[in-house]
A = this chain, B = another copy of it.
């Protein structure tokens, strides 16, 4: 029997946001590979081997997945959210490129509910018009490029979603990002801090950019910024479908 790799998205956290496609694929798996907290979401089962690993070993995970599939195993690589948005899908293809001996492996990517869309839904519809998704971590790209992208997104009047806004190892950069946004968008622009989206302790906090501070975000937060037309209606925040 020939093996395969499926790179799947588990959604932002709650089980009823996992697609039936992903659940069915997990039920066929012999091996689950991923970051420890995501593998912990998979129930142990007879004949199923769990391979949890720590952060920042994405390429090792990819190579393990490809090797196991070449041995006939049915391997599911789990990401939170959507695997194609700042998650494991690109890492698996980087691994394939680095190990061309595995080139014939069947690899499928199964989409999931990505954090920014779950956060947007919880807030209302702040991404209801053209928007950008930016990873604010400079682990794999220079900070100068992030600053450039923030300015281009602001000058295009895109709404924005930021992944990995702030971590203990880089506490100061998010403050710089807020400074750039205030400079480009002014102090009245709405910004949403969505923490632990879809989990029991979810919090959604909306403030104006002029009131935003770096401490409002951590690694469990997705940050959304409206465009020039984004506004509140009752308890909701939304971006109109049109623009003048």
Contact = CB atoms under 8 A, between A and B. Distances in A.
Contacts of A86: 128-129, 241
Nearest to A93: B238
A61 to B, nearest CB: 13
A173 interface: no
Given A19-B19, A140-B243, A141-B243, A121 B109 contact: yes
The size class of the interface chain A forms with chain B is: 35 or more
A93 B237 CA distance: 9
Given A140-B241, A145-B243, A149-B156, 19 more contacts: A17-B20, A17-B21, A18-B19, A58-B241, A84-B125, A85-B117, A90-B238, A103-B233, A109-B120, A109-B122, A111-B118, A111-B120, A130-B132, A130-B134, A131-B133, A141-B244, A152-B152, A152-B155, A152-B158
Interface of A: 11, 14-21, 24, 58, 82-87, 89-94, 96-97, 103-104, 107-114, 117-118, 120-122, 124-135, 140-142, 145, 148-149, 151-153, 155-158, 233-234, 236, 238-244
A89 B152 contact: no
Contacts of A58: 241
